[in-house]
Structure 1
Amino acid sequence: MAWTAADVPDQSGRIALVTGANSGLGLETAKVLAERGATVVLACRNQVKARTAATLIGGATELLELDLASLDSVRAAAAEVHERFDRLDLLINNAGVMVPPHQRTADGFELQFGTNHLGHFALTGLLLDRLRDVPGSRVVVLGSLAHKLARGGINFDDLQSERRYHRVGAYAQSKLANLMFMYALQRRLAAEGAQTIALGAHPGFSATELTRHVPAPLQSINAMAGAPFTQPPDRGALSTLRAATDPRAMGAHYYGPDGPFEWRGRPVLKASAATAHDRAAQDRLWAVSEDLTGVSFG
């Protein structure tokens, strides 16, 4: 039977932090969780848009300023969470940037790798103590079909694209890093007997603001193709919602659409590329990420 938002169980009493919750997939994810009774923390860079989103969502929503492209902002946001909440039930690492012109974060990292991976790596590490002992708690990492384009794996010799920048290649690498982090995190959580599990999801080909940097010719093709190839954000968010709430979900499960090419459809279990399961590369990425962010998971 097709899994829909109606299958999200009651979330009353749970606290969910969703990054990038002011628009697109994050907004739709937050909306459903709030409708099911969760207190949803909208962790967003733009607080004006976050307030608008909170009004739209209704229910129990909290605002948190978070710029994943700045480790200072990540640390400040994590400190604020510690002050305001004694636990978290869900951490949904949703926010991201996609194929922008070459830019750097406040800390000098290539923007996509720094935001999509390093920012979320640091945030998760700084908040894990609020999740570890909470029964049923989960970390959900948003991946992408694009991770399969990083066929050579993580380019450890040029992580920050200093020698050569290819916007699609850098995006693919950042999304591969997201999944490698999720699998490595799940291994560590299971080894220490934590209550928390880590899972992944991808939204298929969803029409959101994330595609604003996609080159104009591809935008035109997408506009002409229309509905047969894309799905609206509320459908794209179903994979995240299933990973976050399905009682049958297990650690390291990865959900995506069931339609052709995984572009659209209802969320089901999917397989990620073999490169995402390379444990030696996962461990190397973990060590590099701790070094670059200064965040250790202990």
Structure 2
Amino acid sequence: MAQFEADAYGEEVCKVLSSQIKGSKVLITGVTPGSIGGEAAIQLSRHEPSLLVLAGRNSQTLQELDRKIKQETPNIQTRLLVIDLSSQENIRKAAEEVNSYPETLEILINSAGVMASPFSFTKDGIELQFGTNHIGHFLFTNLVLEEILRRGPSRIRVANVSSLGHKRGPVRFDDYNFEEGKAYDKWQAYGQSKTANMLYSVSLAEKLGDKGVEAFSLYPGRIVTGLVKHLTDEDWLNSGWRHPDGTLNTDPKFNWTTQSQGAAKLIVAAYDPDISDKNGSYLARNAVRNDEAADYALDPQNAEKLWVLSEDLVGQKFFN
């Protein structure tokens, strides 16, 4: 049984899981250069997956990452998928593209997201963080899973990137839009979306576990990436994450981690065969840590309520 150190680097994890990665067909959302999704793609590319799908909003940044990967592993098969998770119309087009692939995907790593953004709506009238981080992935993943299951017996792993920030708030089932912005709190909204990532994993395990689908949520650690672009100077100072002179506060209590260490956590959730019997669980520090999750974020009743709400918001029912 593989047991990974809490602060293991992606290189270490991939070496242990190399036989699982080799020949796999994997899609990762949110693979901008410098992101943990992008770092995970780079790390995985060194271990011979048979297909690596790089998914993100901007074709130029996807091409940039693709070039970087192929400088090191020129023979790897990649595909670039432009997807805007804040637009259900765009998501459906992207899913159609994926479903036209001759290959059947085996791994979905849902890493894209926004954090603590000013209030705004998605193109479909949903608060941006909830709409992008959860609803976008819910719709895309379910559309892709439908096709995978239609093709016949298969095993697929879904890794949904959550956060310790899920403890900032549960899903506001009756007011997910924060009174259309009038009662908006950007951190509660982030917490709601990250709680939703966890509940979605619980639902996938419950509804599709007997069909070969495994789903896990994970906390990748506290990392400085493009995700922090919406943080103000006040946010940084109030959190204690930066000193008044603007330098990063490296106090061990903040447990900062690197992109490679963050990517390791995505890869463990996506590939570690030893967690299969814990389907639907929450991972932190490269291991199942359900006891560290807020109760509301793993509650089966909340998971079902979220599933019904999510189906209503995308106008489609799945796996009934």
TM-score (norm 1): 0.90
Asked whether the 8 Å contact 2:31–2:41 carries over to 1, the reply is yes
1:224 is aligned to 248
Q: Determine which of 47, 64, 81 is the counterpart of 1:52.
A: 64
Q: Closer, same or farther in 2 for the Cα pair 1:96/1:85, shift >3 Å?
A: farther
Q: Determine which of 207, 213, 228 is the counterpart of 2:230.
A: 213
1:225-252 CA-to-partner distances (Å, cap 9, x unmatched) read 1373311111111111101111212212
Letter in 1 for 2:41: A
Distance 2:303 2:309 in 1: 10
1:8 and 2:17 correspond? yes
Asked whether the 8 Å contact 1:200–1:240 carries over to 2, the reply is no
Q: Determine which of 253, 261, 269 is the counterpart of 2:281.
A: 253
Q: Percent identity?
A: 34
Letter in 2 for 1:35: R
1:25 and 2:42 correspond? no
Asked whether the 8 Å contact 2:204–2:213 carries over to 1, the reply is no
Q: Deviation of residue 135 (structure 1)? A: 4.0
Q: 1:144-159 maps to which residues of 2 (within 5 A)?
A: 144-150=163-169, 153-159=170-176
1:170 and 2:189 correspond? yes
Asked whether the 8 Å contact 1:112–1:171 carries over to 2, the reply is yes
Distance 1:219 1:237 in 2: 24
1:277 is aligned to 298
Asked whether the 8 Å contact 1:9–1:245 carries over to 2, the reply is no
Asked whether the 8 Å contact 1:199–1:252 carries over to 2, the reply is yes
Q: Deviation of residue 175 (structure 1)? A: 0.4
1:122 and 2:134 correspond? no
Q: Deviation of residue 195 (structure 1)? A: 1.5
Structure index of larger Rg: 2
Asked whether the 8 Å contact 2:202–2:281 carries over to 1, the reply is no
Specify which structure has the bigger relative contact order, considering alpha-carbon pairs within 8 angstroms and separated by 6 or more residues: 2
2:318 is aligned to 297
1:107-140 CA-to-partner distances (Å, cap 9, x unmatched) read 1111000000000000111000344445442011
Q: CA RMSD in A?
A: 1.7
Distance 2:306 2:211 in 1: 22
Q: 1:194-209 maps to which residues of 2 (within 5 A)?
A: 194-209=211-226
Q: Secondary structure at the match of 2:79?
A: strand
2:127 is aligned to 110
Q: Deviation of residue 46 (structure 1)? A: 0.7
Q: Secondary structure at the match of 2:275?
A: coil
* Residue-pair matches, total: 285
Q: Deviation of residue 207 (structure 1)? A: 1.4
Query: What stretches of structure 2 of length at least 5 have no aligned partner?
Result: 71-75, 242-246
Distance 1:107 1:242 in 2: 34
Bigger shift: 138-147 or 9-18?
Answer: 9-18
Letter in 1 for 2:60: V
Q: Secondary structure at the match of 1:225?
A: coil
Bigger shift: 132-141 or 168-177?
Answer: 132-141
Asked whether the 8 Å contact 1:143–1:175 carries over to 2, the reply is yes
